[in-house]
Amino acid sequence: MLKLLLSLYVAVFTSIVIINQVSEAIWTHWVHSAPDELRHAKTIAHTLKSSISPNSLPKESDTIKILDMDDVAWLPEQASTLKQGGILTSFDDTGSAWLTFKIPESTLLLQLGPLAPATSATNKQWLIKLLSYAVLAFLLMLWIRPLWLDLLQLRYITECLAQGQVPKTTRRSRFSAISNLTEQIYHLASQVARLIDNQKLLVNAVSHDLRTPLARLKFALAMLPENSREQGNDMADDVLEMEAMIDEMLAYARLEFEVKKLELIPLSLNELVQDQISKLSKLTDKQVSFQGSCDEIILLANPHYLSRAIQNIVQNADKYGNSAIMIRTESDKKYAYIQVEDDGNGIPKSQWESVFVPFSRLDASRSKGGGGYGLGLAIVRKIATWHKGSCHVGCSTELGGAKFTFILPLAHRTSSYSGTNAKLE
């Protein structure tokens, strides 16, 4: 950071010095050296004033006039200038200039004119300013360009990392102030990408390789004699639990690959939720209430994974609720909201984020004994992120338990849906 600030300071300081010197040179040789009749006449007036006397006055003409100082009503400042021997510049109605000075040792005045006034240098002044700003911007662009190229490299590295790919070798700029940072981030991103690949391979390999010994174990348990059947049934339950956990791990690991080929189509949210409620009503004895939006809510989503996310939230409410589940859909101008509430014990505020961490189980009521492996809500959040949405948990104000809110962006919103509220017993 110090290198970046110092290089910027040196670039700006050097640019300003160069621009000032060049601007002064241009102003001196282009503006002040330009032909100027009035300035030239002032030089002649000074020479003439030093060589003239009352006895050697020039003859009057169209350009030279001799008059008495008392014949003109001079302003006090003008009279003071003339008495002190200065050269007075005045202008007539046509804009022409007259040079007036007092002849030494007399009250006579000598006027030279009319002289064309000096042309305005305003346009030249603005032109020089614009050129100066343009040069400053160009010099700063030369300083920024290597920095910009390195920033593009950083964007490329992060895009590769987001896709789980190892970024290709980057080209550092020798003149960039963050070239070392770019190189360090490149090595870091490469290492992270390799770790992600290794993690995926490890999970898949372990999950698949465990299936073979589990299948042998199930076969061995099925061949146990009748007197060991009770103990064998307990062991068989453990095997089934392990299989379910492996399936959950495989599903979670597979999500990392599926995001690259995710296909999104327009979906009706109310129909999708009602389909999950219909499935749940066949498996639970809890009271399930559904409050659907009066307007049809259309999402651009993947039906398989969005159904999986809604199913996980609803099953979570069924698992930890006591007797009632409330499901609600609504939307605003930009987003659709799926709210699932239960009347269970709820989740402490300090653990609201922990429930979305893979393999996280909060306490005995939300443990493996309840059938959970800590991956269901992690899958929900990952699917929400794929759809550029979010999922968070809070407290239910109506039922007193947990309240999960699933937020997704809308594709469009119409008013053709006729469904209102539905209640499943």
Mean pLDDT confidence for 140-146? 80
- 221 part of a folded domain: no
The boundaries of the domain holding residue 281 are 262-424
Confidence of residue 366 (pLDDT cuts 50, 70, 90): very low
Mean pLDDT confidence for 12-36? 71
**Cβ-contact 252, 378 below 8 angstroms:** yes
In sequence order, which residues have a C-beta less than 8 Å from that of residue 166 and are 6 or more positions away? 160, 189, 190, 193, 194, 197
- 226 part of a folded domain: no
Q: What is the DSSP string of 252-292?
A: HHHHHHHGGG---EEEEHHHHHHHHHHHHHTT--SEEEEE-
- 348 part of a folded domain: yes
- 157 part of a folded domain: no
- 240 part of a folded domain: no
Give the mean pLDDT of the chain: 78
**Cβ-contact 193, 164 below 8 angstroms:** yes
Mean pLDDT confidence for 223-252? 73
Dihedral sign from CA coordinates of 338, 343, 344, 345 = positive
Whole-angstrom Cα distance, residue 298 to residue 291? 17
* pLDDT of 118 higher than 60: no
Residue 272 CA to its chain's centroid (Å): 34
Task: Determine which of 50-64, 368-382, 395-409 has the lowest per-residue pLDDT on average.
Answer: 368-382
Mean pLDDT confidence for 197-211? 70
* pLDDT of 398 higher than 50: yes
Last residue of a domain, one of 115, 142, 175: 115
- 329 part of a folded domain: yes
Nearest to 341 by CA among 297, 291, 270: 291
Cα dihedral: 8, 14, 17, 21 (round 10) = -140
Whole-angstrom Cα distance, residue 362 to residue 55? 117
pLDDT, tens digit (0-9, with 9 covering 90-100), for 280-313: 888 888 888 998 877 888 888 888 889 989 999 9
pTM: 0.53
Last residue of a domain, one of 95, 115, 135: 115
Query: Cα–Cα distances in Å, from 353 out to 291, 360, 387, 388?
Result: 27, 10, 19, 18
Number of domains in the chain: 2
What's the token pair of residue 384? 């929400």
- 349 part of a folded domain: yes
Strand order in the sheet with 108-115: 64-68, 108-115, 97-102, 88-91
Angle of CA points 75, 76, 82, to nearest 5° = 90
Nearest to 319 by CA among 352, 283, 282, 348: 283
Whole-angstrom Cα distance, residue 233 to residue 220? 12
**Cβ-contact 391, 261 below 8 angstroms:** no
Last residue of a domain, one of 115, 131, 149: 115
pLDDT of residue 141: 83
- 326 part of a folded domain: yes
Q: Residue 286 belongs to a domain with what CATH number?
A: 3.30.565.10
